[in-house]
């Protein structure tokens, strides 16, 4: 599943006929549609020189959490740690921002451009503990392609 999607992701990110936000939107829509345990897929980006993240393109239910301070929630922690954060059970996390009561698990993978953490891809799942190292490697691939697109 991930191998096939990698080719599609590369195709989207290199499509200069549309803008970068439209390409990010296509990635979110593709991942949500094709990966059964991805129920919400979105990109957050560092908001200018503020110590906060701002929601970019996403697929899934609208969220109130369009701005997240560094350090807050899973996303805010990844903005500071620069490391992948896999959460098998969101209820076991103290520093977690709930977007929907149906969400059971989450994965956040930072997005680096020229070595700088400029944002992240965030996936929510309604399935408990669905994420493996394959998800991590796949989402790292997605972010590398996005980084090339943004350079």
Among 24, 74, 79, 149, binds ligand SME (CB under 6 A): 74
* Cβ-Cβ contacts under 8 Å for 150 (sequence gap 6 or more): 20, 113, 118
Q: Choose the stretch contacting ligand SME; rule: CB under 6 A; options: 2-10, 71-79, 112-120, 131-139.
A: 71-79
User: Closer CB to ligand SME, residue 70 or residue 96?
Assistant: 96
106 binds ligand SME, rule: CB under 6 A: yes
User: Closer CB to ligand SME, residue 44 or residue 138?
Assistant: 44
Q: How many amino acids of this chain bind ligand SME (CB under 6 A)? A: 15
Q: Report the distance separating Cα 3 and Cα 142, nearest Å.
A: 12
Note whether 130 and 107 are within 8 A (CB). no
DSSP state of 119: E
User: Closer CB to ligand SME, residue 18 or residue 80?
Assistant: 80
Q: 3-state SS string over 33-77?
A: HHCCCCCEEEEEEECCCCCEEEEEEEECCCCCCCEEECCCHHHHH
Cα angle 62, 58, 145 (rounded to 5 degrees) comes to 170
75 binds ligand SME, rule: CB under 6 A: yes
Among 24, 41, 99, 109, binds ligand SME (CB under 6 A): 99
Q: Which of residues 1-60 bind ligand SME (CB under 6 A)?
A: 40, 42
């Amino acid at each position: 599943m991930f191998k096939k999607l990698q080719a599609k992701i590369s195709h989207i990110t290199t499509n200069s006929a549309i803008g970068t936000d439209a390409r990010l939107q296509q990635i979110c829509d593709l991942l949500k549609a094709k990966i059964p345990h991805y129920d919400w897929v979105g990109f957050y980006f560092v908001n200018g020189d503020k110590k906060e993240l701002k929601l970019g393109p996403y697929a899934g239910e609208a969220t109130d959490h369009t701005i997240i301070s560094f350090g807050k929630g899973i996303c805010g922690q990844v903005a500071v740690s620069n490391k992948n954060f896999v959460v098998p059970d969101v209820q076991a996390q103290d520093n977690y921002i709930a977007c929907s009561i149906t969400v059971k698990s989450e994965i956040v993978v930072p997005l680096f451009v020229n070595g700088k953490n400029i944002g992240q891809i965030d996936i929510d799942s309604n399935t408990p503990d669905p994420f493996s190292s394959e998800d991590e490697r796949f989402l790292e691939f997605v972010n590398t392609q996005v980084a090339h697109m943004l350079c």
